[in-house]
Structure 1
Amino acid sequence: MTFAQSAQYQGAMAKQIALLDDPANHGPEKMQEIANTFERIAAAEKTQWLPYYYAAYCYVMNALMEKDKSKVDAIDDKAQNAILQADGLSPKNDEIYCIRSLIATARIGVDPQTRGMQFGSEAATWLAQAAQINKDNPRVDLLQGQSLYYTPEQFGGSKEKAKEKFEIALKKFAAFKPASEIAPHWGEEYTRQLLAK
């Protein structure tokens, strides 16, 4: 039996994911701390994509929350490095493509005027690929809806279409069964918040 399947790995991952699931930890310092722990787990578990995936998730969430636009690219680069590691271990993975889409989205936020076109289409491409792999992944609809919600109407955004996407995402969340207790399952609460807007 490999260490990867061990209770120790599962336990360490489950503990960090529980921290991620707690909204109290969604500040930059806490997210950085959790990312560091996932990086340590990844270093010990060289064949596992999930620790890299979650480290990337933490970084990209920080990039999206960062108010100082001059810091976003550096944080996003960390997310990019981690997700490329995950991608190398688990190619053609819809969950990884969702994070790659978020990384592109975070880059738009630095300067929407000059970056919107390039990174907007990159984000959309990753989500389209994720949907091809797994049409039942609720995070794909959530992120497509988020994009529609935050994109100005003259650039193809639509609050109405966003609402439809969020409603589809919630239906999929209701039916969604994560592959394991440490598999990605984030987004349902956020979908509800966006829908409430």
Structure 2
Amino acid sequence: MKKLVLIMFVLCSVSIFAQTAFEKVMTEKIEKLEQSKTAEDFTAVSNDFVRIGDKEKTEWLPYYYAAHAMIEKGRSLMRAGKLSELDAVAAEAQTSLDKAYSLSKDNAEILILQKMIHGLKMMVDPQSRFMSEGMLGADALGKAEKLDSGNPRITLLKAEDTYYTPEQFGGSKTKGLELFQKSLDQFKVYQSKSALHPTWGKGEAEYFLASKP
């Protein structure tokens, strides 16, 4: 009996140590992602997350963050006008997101990133790709909302779309700002499932609301 108790104690100790080590390295890399600014920074931290995911094998969050880092790289390239590079970046993000999805289906956070990947691909040629990538992105966001309607990142992406879409196509800066405010209100009450789960987006909502005319 004592031997069995000792074995159970050792197994529990190993499990707790492994989980603690995982949480520590993930926290460090998430902080690195939050501090990243250049395309090179985002590539490096994405690769870090992929290595963590490949080592852990059963955790979806490393692949999620690997995809998120590549999406942020794409957004930085988009702001720099380097639209021709977005397809390749979106493909890398998709590879990581597919791995996350294989480990955690019906996950609103993964669907939110899927919407963002379609958005990157659409921006290469908005006029010709809206009916394909734009519609696929809207479908992904709709599925995410059914799973987690109070998620502020869903409202944030709706706000972006509304704010940047020309009025003749149904957009509105005024309505976009209203959605940014709704997103910010949701951030104040939304509870992430753990310290490692996504929390990004609040800063962007605050930025738009602070810069409104």
Q: How big is the alpha-carbon RMSD for the aligned residues of Structure 1 and Structure 2?
A: 1.5
In the alignment, is residue 120 of structure 1 matched against residue 131 of structure 2?
A: no
- Determine which structure has greater relative contact order: mean sequence separation of CA pairs < 8 Å that are 6+ residues apart, divided by chain length: 1
What TM-score, normalized by structure 2, do the two folds share?
0.87
Larger C-alpha radius of gyration, 1 or 2? Answer: 2
1:133 and 1:75 mapped to 2: Cα distance?
27
Q: Residue deviations 1:103-158, cap 9 Å, x none? A: 01111111111112221121111111111101111000000110111112222211
1:159 is aligned, of 163, 169, 173, to 173
Q: Which residue of 2 aligns with 1:28?
A: 39
Q: Residue deviations 1:27-47, cap 9 Å, x none? A: 211111110100110110111
2:47 and 2:127 mapped to 1: Cα distance?
33
In the alignment, is residue 70 of structure 1 matched against residue 81 of structure 2?
A: no
Q: Which residue of 1 aligns with 2:28?
A: 15
Deviation at 1:5, TM superposition (A): 5.6
Deviation at 1:68, TM superposition (A): 2.1
> Is the CA contact 1:100–1:123 (under 8 Å) kept in the aligned structure 2?
yes
Structure 2 counterpart of 1:189, which letter? G
- Residue identity over aligned pairs, in percent, reads 35
> Is the CA contact 1:97–1:129 (under 8 Å) kept in the aligned structure 2?
yes
Structure 1 counterpart of 2:76, which letter? M
Q: Which residue of 1 aligns with 2:61?
A: 50
What TM-score, normalized by structure 1, do the two folds share?
0.94
1:18 and 1:104 mapped to 2: Cα distance?
26
CA separation of 1:72 and 1:141: change in aligned 2, threshold 3 A = same
Corresponding residue pairs, total? 195
What is the correspondence of 1:1-197 to structure 2 with a 5 Å cutoff? 1=12, 2=15, 6-22=19-35, 25-66=36-77, 67-195=81-209, 196-197=211-212
Which portions of structure 1, spanning 4 or more consecutive aligned residues, are displaced by more than 3 angstroms? 1-5
2:208 and 2:130 mapped to 1: Cα distance?
21
Structure 2 counterpart of 1:65, which letter? S
1:5 and 1:138 mapped to 2: Cα distance?
32
2:43 and 2:193 mapped to 1: Cα distance?
26
1:6 aligned counterpart, secondary structure: helix
CA separation of 1:151 and 1:4: change in aligned 2, threshold 3 A = farther
Deviation at 1:4, TM superposition (A): 9.4
Structure 2, gaps ≥5 residues long: 1-11
Structure 2 counterpart of 1:151, which letter? T
Structure 1, gaps ≥5 residues long: none
Deviation at 1:194, TM superposition (A): 2.0
